[in-house]
Structures are given as structure tokens and as C-alpha cells.
Structure 1
Amino acid sequence: MGIKFRLTLMSFLQFFVWGAWLITIATYFFNSPMAAGENAGAKFGAIFSTLALSSLFMPALTGIIADKWMNAEKLYGLLHILYGIVLFYVPQVTDADTLYYVIFAAMICYMPTISLSNSIAYTILKNNDFDVVKVFPPIRVWGTIGFIAAMWVTNLTGSKANTNQFLIAGAFAILLGIFSFTLPKCPPQKAIAADAGLADQLGLTSFKLFGNYKMALFFLFSMLLGGALQLTNMYGDTFLDDFKNNPLYGPESFVVRYSTIIMSISQISETAFILTIPFFLKRFGIKKVMLFSMLAWVLRFGLFAYGNPADGLWMIILSCIVYGMAFDFFNISGSLFVETTTDSKIRSSAQGLFMMMTNGVGAFLGSKISGYAIDRFYTTAEGHKDWHGIWLAFAVYAMVVAVLFLLLFKHEHNPKDVENVAH
């Protein structure tokens, strides 16, 4: 097996074992006895927030371990095996509180493997004299394909509303863990100086960027937009699945039966929009591209608010297509902004801070607050959700963030900033 093929397989499985349940866990939860009673939305929001909580500390900790003490591919394999074992326990869970801790344990194992998989691929490609900039993107795109494939498998096997989705993910995670032990060795690089302080080891020196008004404002908007990034992952599939309760459509509706496959259009769109980013950045600049992302989120939510499985199906499809721009444009352009405006000595930790503010703090607050708001304002006494109101509220939120960003964030377009942008 060639190096590139093995890394491609690793990338495919890396996101397959996440995509098998990430989009459909809400459908499972809200169709289970765990959602009975009050505050089901808040309980699910707490469960989903474990992705963000684990992102706050685990990538940094595992990065230090891989840098100083343990081969990256072995650590990666161990984490995936543990992740798979935890997922196998999910079918035994019968209450929301226990599910919170089980999913939290799974996320503690899984979330750091995302950055570890990139580090392993970079190291192996460099050690084998490959051009990383040229070779890595085609390998990484198979990760998104793996995520899409997992969503299709979950839907077509009838697993989107039961615990089989976790068993599928768990089985392939253990296989990935075992497979990773066969990868070329990635020993510790001793990248962190032995006399470095704790702040340097954890990348905390980048926090001084909050003392710069422009950077502080950027990180604030990163957090605010991060609150929206996971909302459709949290609620998109269960929103489509809920049309089964509407007598106009019913459980045999195409949208209800194949909700997860329809949602996978979002990930397909993501792979396409990645290819357009260099053009948009060169033509419009970083600030406008980030603004396009925010406006795309308004469309994403607004189209869901008015879509339905009949004459409004085109809105649901278009919303999924718009997702690619909404998700990619802010993440890529935001990363480039950090790359071109921070000192090289703290650039890596600054990138970590950007990810922490979006996928950590922002996603955590978005998960918790959205769950509370849905319970408080958009759920009837019988437990039915007002999806039209929910998506409109999210659209208004995204619009407010976009307007504030346009008015407050000042950044001059410099074409040289995008000359070396990675796809």
C-alpha cells in the first residue's frame, strides 16, 4: 500500500467515524424516551456542547504529548480505539444525564485526533519527500467524502433514529485505531523547549493578542459566528425528520425518509466552495469574504425557515448548497487573517486561539443558549417545535452579527495576503 493511499484511507475514516452520528444524534435523541419531559432542548444542547468543551483543552494537551513523549501515530490509534469503545456503550444509556458524560468522554478522545491526523500526514509526507502543499489537499478532501459516506450509510441502513449509528462509528473507529499502528513512525519532535514555561507549552502567550483592538474584535466576532457554526449540525436532520408529524407530508415523504442524505448536500457543497476561495479572496479581500460567510448563514437559516418537502423543497436544497460558503469562507479567510496579521513567534498558538474561540467558546455558547431558547420560546406544551420560528431567530442573529461586523471591523484588502493561500 502506497503512502498516499494509506493517508487517504486515514483521512476518509477520520471523518467517517464522526459523520456516522454527528448529524443524526439529534434525531436519535428527540425520538428516544430521554427527550420526554421538560427541558429536552437544553439537555440536548448540553450534550452537543461537549464537542466544544473538549476542543478547549484536549488538542493542546495531546499536542504536547505528541511533541514530547509519544509517537503521534500511536497516540492517534489509542485515542480512536478508546473513542470506539465509548461509542459502543451508548446503547446502554437510558437517560440524558448519562448520555452527556458518555458523549463527553467520546469527544475527549475524538476531537484531538482531527489535528493529530493533520500532523501525522504532514510528517509522513515530509519524511518521504512529498510536496505537502500539492499532495495534502487531495488527501484531506477524502475526509469530507468519508463524512458524506457515513451520513449515507447511517440513513440507508435505517440507523438515523437508533443507536446503530454509534455502533457503526465505533466499529470503524477501532479499525482505524488498529490501522494507524501500521503507519510510518512519527516520533516526538521535541518542538517545545525543555525550559519553556507552562504558558508557552499551552500556547497561552497568544492571549496577549486580546490587547490589540483589531484582533480582540476579530476574536469576538469569531466567537459570535462560532455560535452559529454547529446549529444546523445539531438540528438540521431532526428538523427534516419532524415533517413526518405534519399530515401534509407524513413519514413516507422523500425528505423524511432521506433526511440525512439531503443534509449531506451541505458537505458536498463544502468541498466545492473550498475550490472557489482563492478567487473570492483575491477579488474581494478577507473582510468581504468573511462578510459573505455571515450573509450566507442568514440565507442558510432563512431558507430552512420557509422550506418544506413539497413546493419548498428547492429552499431546503439551496440552503444546503449555501452551507458550503457559510462554513468555509469564514474558517479559511479567518485563518488567513490570523496568518497575515500576527507575529511569526506566536502564529501557531494564534491559530489555536482562533479555533478555540470559534469551535470552543462560540460553539459551546451556541449549543447551550440555543437549547435553552428552543425550550423556552419555541416548544409547545406537547413537545412540538416551531421550526419556522427557530430558523428565523437564528437568521436574525446571523444578520445582526453581519451588520455589526460590517460597521465595526476595519481591514484594508491587500492582494499579497492571499498569494499563498492553501486550498
Structure 2
Amino acid sequence: MTFSIKAKLSAMMFLEFFIWGAWFVTLGTYLFNNLKTDATAVSVAYTSQAIGAIAAPFIVGLIADRFFSAQKILGVLHLIGAALLWCMPGATSFSTLYPFVLAYMIVYMPTLALVNAISFRQMTNPSKEFPPIRVLGTLGWIVAGFSIGWLGWEKEGTLDLTFKTAAIASLVLAAFSFTLPATPPVKKGSKTSFSDIIGLDAIRLLKNKSYLVFFLASVAICIPLAFYYNFTNPFLNEVGMQGAAGKQAFGQVSEVLFMALMPVFFTRLGVKKMLAVGMLAWVLRYVCFAYGDAGASYWMLIAGIALHGICYDFFFVTGQIYTDNLAGPQFKSAAQGFITLATYGVGMLIGFSISGPIVDSYKTGDLHLWTPIWLIPAGIAAVVLLIFLLLFRDKPTAPLQRPGNTG
């Protein structure tokens, strides 16, 4: 790649994740404080992400892969997204806001696959060239969080500005997308089956007992993960943390640091221990939240946030590598699509659906009893970890092959 292409792809990644981090992190706090909703409404709002994740393969598989260049679809989707984001703060109730949030996530979630596709098509060695570009996305999320914390929008009750900030950034990315390298459809004129779209070919992986255990653990661990996305920011603001969104961005800083260290850990620990450490980090994170406060135990809140790097990298990134190795070259894309649909789609949908009513059940007046709330996802994660340790076997396995293929 030329320097110009690298710079464009890096800017694309920065804006892509700046947009998401600029409003999604504080959405729960906005709903609580500005629209006076309950926790169930917050969880309903966040289910839009899972619905968008389920819809994304159809948009990418039916449109981007067959008819239009990826960079053009990216531009159109972000243009629509900018309009939806700009309209959100004008909603005066949850019932009028939710259609905008749902519509936005349906058009945004496919862009996550599109920015990856645009990047990979320009690379000759993705394993080396992609990480330095993808890390700009994490940096975009960090800058968004630090900016919200520094500007004090949570404290001042002006979180409506997060939507407008994201809308402006989305408009910028929409225009910028049309300057990105041409990425024409790879399956133009071909037929795409339902099985191809959602990666059903990769269901053969579930015949491997250990992979089945990993797959079910991945879906189950996304249930406590939903508690983190839904309620961490409202929780931190409620217990008195100043600039909570900015502090939460340290989780992404941790993600970058542990991503750099992963090759070392992977060599020494192996797949099973890496996955187990990742799940253990989920348990510890929620225990820290359960007993942390803005006083003497403030360090526990920071520790819970900082554990994000281990939670995400050790489990999800290791799981992606494990899936990639087991699937083999013929099923790589199908396998990654299948596990993403199951986790960010089905698993998160379950988690988002149950977390809100649970939080509402521990509400007293205008506050919540956060200790028992956080111990519930900690307990779920602990059970998943225990079952995984008992049933998963970390043994070398041959890549999956199509029937009759001996090569």
C-alpha cells in the first residue's frame, strides 16, 4: 500500500469508531437523566445493536458483495446515519427516540464489515498491515470518550450534544468514503444463498466437541457483556465518578496494550488458558463494580474498567484466532460471520433483554442497589467459566474441509 492509502484507511477507521463511541457509551445515562426512562427502556434501546448485527450480513451479503462498491455503500449508509443521529436529540420521549436508534443501528452495524472489507482489499499481507490501521479505530473511540469527559457533558446534562457530534462526524465520513480506494463487489452476477449470508457452512465446526463448548460459552458470555454496555456509564455517574465517559475510555487503552502483548501470552498459555483468563476477567470486573465506589474503593472502579483489555482480547480475539485456525482456508469468512452473528447478535440480544428488568428490580427511589446488580453478571460469567474449564479440551485439530476434499 502507498502512504496515501494507509492514511485514508486509518482516517476511515478513526471516524468509524469515533462516531460509535461518541454517543453509544452514554446512551443509558442520557435515557435515565434526560428522558427519565427506566432500566428496561435502556436495555430495549441497546437491543438495537444486536438487531443491527443480525441484519448486517444480509445488507453486506445481498448488496455490497453483489451490486455496489463497498466504499459507495459506506458513504450512503453514513449519510443516512448522520440524518438519524441529528434527529435523535429532538425526541422528547423514549417511544419517539427508539425508532431512530433502531434505524441507525441497522444502517451502522453493516459499516463495521464494510470498513474491514475496504481495508483488506488494499492489502497484500493483512496480518501485518491491518493491525496498525485498525488500532486507529480504537483511538477514535478513546478520543470520543476523553472528549465527553473533558467537556463535562454528563455532569452538565448536555448529552444531547453527543448525538450532534456523532452526526457531524458521520457526515464527514460519508463524504470522505467516496474518496476511498475503489472496492468493487466480489460476487457481481453470482447467486448468494441464505446459507452463504449467515455463514451456515461453518456449522460443521460444531461437530468438534471442544468448539461446540467454545461456541456455547461465547454466546453465554455475551449475556454479562450486555450488562457492561447497558449500564456501566449510568452506574459510574450514579456513584459519583467525575467524567465517567472519559474514564471508561481507559478500557480501550487497555485493549490496545493487551493486543500488543497477545502474541507473548498466546505462546505461553495456549487457547484454553487464554479463553479462561478472559472469562475470569469478566468475573473480576463485575466484582470490582459491585464493591467499588467513588470513595476509598475508587480503585476498584478503575480496575474494573482497565480489565476491559483482558476481557475482550483474551476471549474474543483469541476466539477469532481459534475459529480461523479450525475452519481452514475454505471456511474462514463463513466461520467468522457465524460466530459474530451468534455472539453480537443472539448472545447480546439475550443479555440486553434480561439486563434491564434485573436493574429495575433493584431500584430504590431514584437510585439503584448496584452491588447485587453487578454480582448477577459476575455469577453468570463464573458459571460459564466453570463449565468451560470442565468440558473444553485444548488439543490440536485439523482444519475443517469440504466433504470429499483431501487437499
Q: TM-score, normalised by structure 2?
A: 0.91
Q: Counterpart amino acid of 2:136?
A: W
**Higher mean displacement: 336-345 or 303-312:** 336-345
Residue 385 of structure 1 corresponds to 368
Name the residue aligned to 1:419: none
Out of 242, 261, 279, the position equivalent to 1:294 is 279
Which residue of 83, 87, 110 corresponds with 1:89?
Answer: 87
Which of residues 139, 146, 155 is equivalent to 2:149?
155
Unaligned runs of 5+ in 2: 400-407
CA distance in 2, matches of 1:271, 1:284: 19
Whether 2:326 is the aligned partner of 1:341: answer yes
Distance, in Å, in 2 between the alignment partners of 1:392 and 1:226 is 16
Contact 2:223/2:347 (<8 A) preserved: yes
Cα distance change, pair 196–307 in 1 and its aligned pair in 2 (3 A): closer
> SS of the residue aligned with 2:40?
helix
Instruction: State the partner residue of 1:53.
Output: 51
Residue in 1 that maps onto 2:356: 371
Contact 1:61–1:202 under 8 Å retained in 2: no
Per-residue Cα deviation, 1:271-299 (whole angstroms, up to 9, x for no partner): 10111111111111111100000100011
Deviations along 1:335-357, one digit per CA (max 9) or x if unpaired, are 11211222533331111111112
With 58-67 and 115-124 compared, the bigger mean Cα shift is at 58-67
* Counterpart check, 1:226 vs 2:222: yes
Residues 149, 247 of structure 2: 8 Å contact kept: no
C-alpha contact 2:61 2:192 (8 A) present in aligned 1: no
What residue is the counterpart of 1:247 in the other structure?
none
Separation (CA, whole Å) in 2 of partners of 1:404 and 1:317: 29
Moved more, 113-122 or 56-65: 56-65
* 1:212, distance to aligned residue in structure 2 (A): 4.5
Structure 1 gaps, min length 5:
245-254, 417-423
| Native 8 Å contact 2:289 2:300 kept in 1 | yes
Instruction: Quote the offset at 1:387 in angstroms.
Output: 1.0
Match of 2:294, SS state, is coil
2 CA distance for matches of 1:66 and 1:5?
A: 23
| Aligned counterparts of 1:197 and 1:23: Cα–Cα separation in 2 | 36
- Please list every run of at least 4 consecutive aligned residues from structure 1 whose deviation after the TM superposition is greater than 6 angstroms: none
1:195–1:260 Cα change, 3 Å = closer
1:261 to 246, 264, 280: 246
SS of match in other structure, 1:124: coil
Cα deviation digits, residues 148-194 of structure 1 (max 9, x gap): 10112222233334211111001100110101101121111227x72
One of 393, 403, 406 as aligned partner of 2:386? 403
- Equivalent residues in 2 for 1:241-320 (5 A)? 241-244=237-240, 255=241, 257-320=242-305
Supply the RMSD in Å over aligned alpha carbons.
1.9
Please give the alpha-carbon distance, in whole angstroms, between the structure 2 residues aligned to 1:82 and 1:351.
27
CA contact 1:285–1:413 (8 Å) conserved in 2? no
| Identity percentage of aligned residues | 35
Shift of 1:328: 1.3
Deviations 1:361-393 (A, max 9, x none): 1111111111111112x112x242111111122
Question: Does the 8 Å CA contact 1:52/1:363 hold for their aligned counterparts?
Answer: yes
